[in-house]
Amino acid sequence: MIRHTKSTNVPSSLGRGVQANEDNCTAYDAAAAGYRNGERSFDIRKGIYGTDVVKRQLKADQYDKCAFCESIFDANVAGDVEHYRPKGAVDTDDRRIYPGYYWLGYNWENLCYACPDCNSYRKRNCFPLENEANRARDHHADITLEQPLLLDAYGPRDPRAHIAFRGEAVTGLTAAGNATIDILALGRTALARDRLQHLRMLTLVHESVSLFDGDPRPEAIAFLQRARAELAAAILPDARFSAAAADHLAALDAGENFLPVSAA
C-alpha cells in the first residue's frame, strides 16, 4: 500500500452530490432516532458517486491499482468506487453502528478505487478507531477527533511508515499497519502468491545486473541499461506491488533475499 495524490478536479457527477448530501443531513435532523436505531436508512446513490467519470479519475490517480493491495486487476474483474469511511453503517467487533458516514456519501475526499476482494470481501463496513468514543456519529460531530486505524491511500499518513514487506510477506510496523493488514487480509494466499511471482522476476533481473556489471561488451552494456531501467521502474508509484518491490530490492542490495527457495 502506498500513498496517492487525489486530483483537485472533482468529477462532474459529484456536483449532484452536494445537494444530495445536504438533503441527507436535513433528513437526519428531522428523524435522528430512526437513523440511529437502523429503522431508517439513507439511499446513497451509486449513480452519483460510482459513475464512470468518477471511476476513471480515481483509476488515473491510482495508476489503475487497487488503493489497498496495489494489484492491477482490471483485465479480469471490474473495480469498485469505495468509501473510506463507510456510507451506510459501521461494523465493530461486537455491534453494527447506524448510521454510517452519510454526510460523506458523495464527498470526493472519501472515495477511492479498490479491487472487489479488498472492498467487497474484506473491508466492507469496517472502520475501527483508536478510541471509539471519538467516533463521529453524525454531521454535527468533529470528524478530526477520530484516529482511524485503517490507513487511507489518500490520507496524511504514509502507509509505507506503517506497513513493510519481507519478501512477499507483509508485516505491520504500527497498530494502524497491523489493523489495515488484518482488515484487508493483505497477506491472503492468492495475493501473496502474485507478489511472490512478481518479486522472483525482479530477483532474476537484479541477479543479471550483478552478473553482467563491468562486462565491456556493447551488448552487455545495453542489457545492463535495460535491466537497471526495469528495476527503477518497479518501485515507481505506477508499478504494481511497488511497495513490496522497493523493500525487496533494498534487501537484495543489502545482500538479503527473503523469498522462499523456488521448487524449480
> Tell me: the pLDDT tens digits for 188-209?
999 999 999 999 999 999 999 9
Start-to-end Cα distance in the chain: 30
The β-bridge partners of 91 are: 96, 126
The proportion of the chain whose per-residue pLDDT surpasses 90, expressed as a percent, equals 94
Residue that the C-alpha cell 445536504 belongs to: 22
Report the pLDDT value the prediction gives residue 78, as an integer from 0 to 100. 83
Report the pLDDT value the prediction gives residue 225, as an integer from 0 to 100. 95
Q: Collect all residues with Cβ–Cβ distance below 8 Å to 218 and sequence separation of at least 6.
A: none
Lowest mean pLDDT among 71-85, 129-143, 220-234: 71-85
pLDDT surpassing 60 at residue 263:
no
Surface-to-core class of residue 195, CB atoms within 10 Å of its CB (0-12 exposed, 13-18 middle, 19+ buried): buried
Q: What is the pLDDT of residues 10-61, one digit of tens each?
A: 999 999 999 999 999 999 999 999 999 999 999 999 999 999 999 999 999 9
| Annotated domain spans of the chain | 12-155, 157-264
In the chain, at which residue ranges do the beta strands (DSSP E only) sit?
Answer: 80-83, 90-91, 96-97, 111-114, 163-166, 169-172
